[in-house]
């Protein structure tokens, strides 16, 4: 490919609003162009890398029995209504009506379509197990797209779906994907860890996320370096401290002016944060089944955690079994007699509706019932209660683990200190079970003659996000550094003054043995060409210059190295073949069996 004929161009500077390294470099190197918020065009050079990633995906999923198909991006909403996700998913779902006034959906994922295919195609246990997948466009109207391809609204995903007659079969296919995903990421040159995660809107009983550890990540992961425990902070467990036993002391109201935060309160009273109770108000959305169909309704949630810990909203949402959760507005808090910054359930009447007042649900962390004589709000500005005790002074509708693991807390498995790290989710796997097939009546006749629901698994990898994470991982101060397996071209030929003929001959000779090269034939200075070569980041650079050609040599350099070497022109094809083989071997050596951690 001649650089002069390539559609797109490199840029000296990245746009001012580019946030992260991968975004800046992919734009500058001519890989992507932004059309709108979270919507990007992939330029020809990027499309080549994307195609190589997709081929790796195909190879690994085919190797575990996958069959590729293609499912529609536009789907009838009736399917999503059958599984109830039409009512459970908020504004991020793309909804519209067709010309016949029927509700339609832009695909966020394809569990519903797979379930519909299953109920049409699978009748007997003899047709199971099966594994189907596709690589298809998705749409999620994320309100906060950011970081280039890391968080977008339109994206391409490889999603595969396992179909089994029993739970043992699901476990086998789940474990096969667990290893296949490591193979995929390692073949793409990206280091990842697998962590247990929340099932979220997908549902089911078990999920893992594949995380690329980076400071730009929006997810927080919890690690124990001693025993290997790892989980997303959304669901991570830890050993909570055992509270010191103490007899309940009399409730006492005290003046605490200006103490709206736990830190201010503890300093003012001379107590530790662990001796206080923190109130957090949230508004939860639930779905009620009515005669007119599902209907949303909201409840104010009064969550109590110990003052030295932080509320985990995912754990709270799971405990509530709510559709959505947001911070409560001040007027909502005041409407139940509480005072923001000075709130507690003490003194409020929760006798109505089995502990609910005006739609309030009281939820406390499971550390609270054993923690005696905590300082808590008095529901009056400038005042707190000393010596509040759960059970005597207030009760809750829900007692559950509601707090987040954090650095230094005790590992749930071995008790050693845990640590946290940021990461980007590049893939996920879910044991869905019969979550969708039950709703869609996707059943088969088992060998015992019984009608049973097909058991499903769902497994996804975002292709563009994977490309961006590789770019985030593989770069230096001069530009991108693509792994040989997904580089748009393995070779970048730079022609200096009076060397075009030799460069063109080498380009054609490489093509004859199946090696595609990007040939910089532009009428630009050597500095511009070298800078662009480093910016684009192809693995091997061949430089053709007049002085070297006079000696019968060209210069060869790996993008990852500073050293250059001269190679006889008549040996360059064989040397390049050997270099490519060596680079591929380095990648292959990273593809190893990984211990499965349920």
Residues 197 and 93 in one domain: yes
Strand, helix or coil for residue 68 = strand
Residues 80 and 218 in one domain: yes
Q: How many Å apart are CA 23 and CA 188, to the nearest integer?
A: 18
Span 225-268, pLDDT tens digits: 999 899 999 999 999 999 888 899 999 999 999 998 999 999 99
Q: How many Å apart are CA 353 and CA 360, to the nearest integer?
A: 9
Does residue 64 form part of some domain? yes
pLDDT at 128: 98
Residues 115 and 231 in one domain: yes
* Residue 522: CB atoms within 10 Å: 15
> CATH number for the domain including 370?
3.90.960.10
pLDDT at 357: 42
* Last residue in a domain, options 399, 434, 464: 399
Residues 113 and 223 in one domain: yes
Residues 392 and 436 in one domain: no
Residues 227 and 174 in one domain: yes
pLDDT at 351: 52
Does residue 257 form part of some domain? yes
Residues 269 and 365 in one domain: yes
Q: What is the DSSP letter of 503?
A: H
pLDDT at 87: 87
Residue closest to 423 by CA, chosen among 586, 208, 137: 208
Span 420-473, pLDDT tens digits: 999 999 999 999 999 999 999 999 999 999 999 999 999 999 999 999 999 999
Tracing tokens 């211990």 back to the chain, one arrives at 595
Strands 130-139 and 67-68: parallel
Residues 207 and 64 in one domain: yes
Q: How many Å apart are CA 329 and CA 281, to the nearest integer?
A: 8
pLDDT at 355: 39
* Cβ atoms of residues 556 and 542 within 8 Å: yes
* Last residue in a domain, options 445, 472, 499: 472
Distance of CA 460 to the CA centre of its chain: 10
Residues 71 and 163 in one domain: yes
Residues 54 and 175 in one domain: yes
Burial class (CB in 10 A: 0-12, 13-18, 19+), 213: middle
* Residue 588: CB atoms within 10 Å: 12
How far CA 225 is from CA of 221, 276, 414, in Å, comes to: 13, 31, 10
* Cβ atoms of residues 8 and 43 within 8 Å: yes
pLDDT at 307: 95
Residues 286 and 162 in one domain: no
Tracing tokens 């509270």 back to the chain, one arrives at 243
Beta strands in 321-409 (DSSP E): 324-327, 360-365, 374-377, 383-388, 398-400
Burial 400-410 (b: 16+ CB within 10 A, else e): ebbbbbbeebb
> CATH number for the domain including 493?
3.40.50.800
Does residue 80 form part of some domain? yes
Does residue 478 form part of some domain? no
Q: How many Å apart are CA 189 and CA 177, to the nearest integer?
A: 18
Does residue 258 form part of some domain? yes
Q: How many Å apart are CA 344 and CA 350, to the nearest integer?
A: 12
Strand, helix or coil for residue 141 = coil
Span 154-175, pLDDT tens digits: 999 999 999 999 999 999 999 9
Burial 144-183 (b: 16+ CB within 10 A, else e): ebebbbbbbbbbbbbbbbbbbbeeebbbbbbebbbbbbbb
Low-confidence ranges of the chain (pLDDT < 70): 201-203, 350-358
Q: How many Å apart are CA 25 and CA 32, to the nearest integer?
A: 9
pLDDT at 296: 82
Cis before 133? omega within 30: no
Residues 226 and 333 in one domain: no
Give residue 176's domain range.
48-236+420-472
Q: How many Å apart are CA 461 and CA 190, to the nearest integer?
A: 13
Does residue 17 form part of some domain? no
Domain count within the chain = 3
Report the predicted TM-score, pTM, of the whole model to 2 decimal places. Answer: 0.89
Does residue 7 form part of some domain? no
* Cβ atoms of residues 216 and 422 within 8 Å: yes
Span 56-71, pLDDT tens digits: 999 999 999 999 999 9
Residue closest to 487 by CA, chosen among 356, 585, 390, 580: 580
> CATH number for the domain including 139?
3.30.930.10
Strands 479-480 and 475-476: antiparallel
pLDDT at 353: 41
pLDDT at 333: 85
Q: How many Å apart are CA 182 and CA 194, to the nearest integer?
A: 9
How far CA 461 is from CA of 83, 94, 135, in Å, comes to: 23, 20, 9
Does residue 455 form part of some domain? yes
């Amino acid at each position: 490919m001649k650089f002069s004929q390539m559609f797109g161009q490199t840029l000296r500077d990245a746009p001012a609003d580019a946030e992260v390294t991968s975004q800046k470099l992919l734009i500058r190197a001519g890989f992507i162009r932004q059309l709108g918020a979270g919507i990007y065009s992939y330029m020809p050079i990027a499309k080549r890398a994307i195609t190589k990633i997709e081929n790796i995906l195909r190879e690994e999923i085919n190797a575990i029995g996958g069959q590729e198909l293609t499912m529609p991006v536009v789907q009838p909403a009736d399917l999503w209504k059958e599984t109830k996700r039409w009512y459970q998913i908020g504004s991020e779902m793309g909804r519209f009506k067709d010309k016949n006034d029927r509700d339609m959906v832009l695909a966020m994922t394809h569990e519903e379509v797979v379930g519909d295919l299953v109920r049409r195609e699978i009748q007997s246990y003899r047709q199971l197990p099966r594994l189907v997948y596709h690589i298809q466009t998705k749409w999620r109207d994320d309100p906060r797209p950011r970081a280039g391809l890391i968080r977008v609204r339109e994206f391409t995903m490889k999603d595969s779906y396992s179909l089994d007659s029993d739970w043992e079969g699901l476990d086998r296919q789940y474990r096969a994907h667990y290893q296949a995903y490591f193979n995929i990421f390692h073949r793409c040159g990206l280091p990842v860890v697998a962590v247990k995660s929340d099932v979220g809107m997908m549902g089911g009983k078990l999920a893992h996320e594949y995380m690329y550890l980076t400071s730009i990540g929006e997810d927080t992961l919890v690690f124990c370096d001693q025993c290997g425990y790892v989980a997303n902070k959304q669901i991570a467990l830890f050993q909570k401290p055992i509270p010191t036993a103490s007899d309940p002391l009399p409730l006492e109201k005290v003046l605490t002016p200006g103490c709206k935060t736990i830190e201010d309160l503890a300093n003012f009273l001379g107590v530790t944060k662990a001796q206080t109770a923190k109130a957090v108000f949230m508004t939860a959305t639930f779905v009620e089944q009515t005669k007119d169909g599902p209907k949303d309704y909201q409840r104010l949630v009064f969550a109590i955690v110990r003052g030295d810990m932080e509320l985990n909203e995912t754990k709270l949402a799971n405990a509530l079994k709510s559709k959505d959760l947001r911070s409560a507005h001040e007027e909502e808090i005041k409407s139940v007699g509480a005072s923001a910054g000075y709130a507690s359930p003490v003194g409020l009447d929760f006798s109505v509706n089995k502990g609910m007042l005006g739609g309030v649900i009281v939820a406390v962390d499971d550390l609270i019932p054993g923690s005696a004589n905590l300082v808590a709000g008095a529901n009056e500005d400038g005042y707190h209660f000393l010596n509040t005790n759960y059970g005597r002074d207030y009760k809750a509708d829900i007692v559950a683990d509601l707090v987040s693991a954090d650095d230094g807390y005790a590992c749930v498995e071995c008790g050693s200190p845990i640590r946290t790290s940021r990461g980007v989710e590049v893939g996920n796997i879910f044991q869905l079970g019969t979550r969708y097939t039950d709703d869609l009546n996707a059943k088969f006749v088992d060998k015992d003659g019984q009608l049973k629901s097909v058991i499903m698994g769902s497994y996804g990898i975002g292709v563009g996000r994977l490309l961006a994470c590789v770019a985030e991982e593989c770069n230096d101060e001069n530009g991108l550094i693509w792994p040989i397996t997904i580089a748009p071209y393995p070779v970048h030929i730079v022609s200096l003054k009076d060397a075009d003929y030799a460069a063109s001959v080498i380009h054609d000779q490489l093509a004859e043995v199946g090696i595609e090269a990007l040939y910089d034939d532009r009428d630009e200075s050597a500095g511009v060409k070298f800078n662009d070569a480093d910016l684009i980041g192809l693995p091997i650079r061949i430089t053709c210059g007049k002085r070297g050609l006079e000696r019968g040599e060209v210069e060869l350099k790996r993008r990852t190295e500073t050293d250059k070497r001269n190679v006889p022109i008549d040996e360059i094809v064989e040397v390049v073949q050997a270099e490519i083989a060596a680079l591929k071997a380095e990648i292959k050596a990273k593809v190893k069996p990984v211990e499965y951690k349920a």
